[in-house]
Amino acid sequence: MNIKQKIETAVKESGGYLCVGLDLNIKRLPEPVKGDTPDELIGFNRSIIESTVDFTAAYKLNLAFYEALGEIGFYVLKGSIDCIPKDRLIIADGKRGDIGSSAAKYAEAIFDKLGADMATVNPYMGYDAVEPFISRKDKGAFILTLTSNPGASDFQLQGEPQMLFESIASKVVEWNVSDNIGLIVGATQQDYIARVRSIAPELPLLIPGIGAQGGDLERAVSGTMVEWDGISLINSSRGIIYASSGKDFAEAAASAAKKLRDSINQILKKYEQK
């Protein structure tokens, strides 16, 4: 099964386009979770995964939150990934981007040691920095294209006749010979998100920025999935995994995940009826 097929299968099995971000922050763990040991941290993620899996097509693990744990970080990260069912897409979010020899080692760590399906990759250094992540059909990369942060305008919205983000999207379409590349587009970039989709009508998009970052769900969904063939995975992290700080944290996460998945589907249905 190649990456495109795995994404399509995960969407079908979960009934929607939700990606849950497992941003493990010890300071925000629910009160019942002590977080004193690596296994307790894995246990928290396991509870979130088991409670949300019926509504979730993909899980994204931000590597920074695990690297910040120090020597136990890799153990917690690998243990958490092992809890994710194999029919769901696993994204290692490290925004890697380095010369080819270093990129190859990053890809080895993410794919062979951790067992992730896709990595997030910074394309600034060009094709040779991306190639190790897309050289296998059963693995792939989401390429940083247009991000949610305020500083995105410093470079990504500059350039003539194409802005930088448009040039990146166009180049990635050329690279996608094995159907294993997607683009990252922040939901807060509401004025430009549809332009990315028009350049890459069939590529999967990973869309962070919904919820706490202020992205508009309807504009993200309608601008990238209505009248287009490409799948968009809508990511939510804090709004789901920290939906409750009490004993009901897993149930609250399940409720939040189902609500967001269903909201995405309702938006699509509304536009289909027009």
Please state, in angstroms and rounded to a whole number, the distance separating the CA atoms of residues 185 and 246: 33
Active site residues: 95
Q: How far is residue 136's CA from residue 116's CA, in Å, rounded to a whole number? A: 13
Contact assessment for residue 137 and residue 180, using Cβ atoms and an 8 Å cutoff? yes
CA pair distance 105, 199, nearest whole angstrom: 31
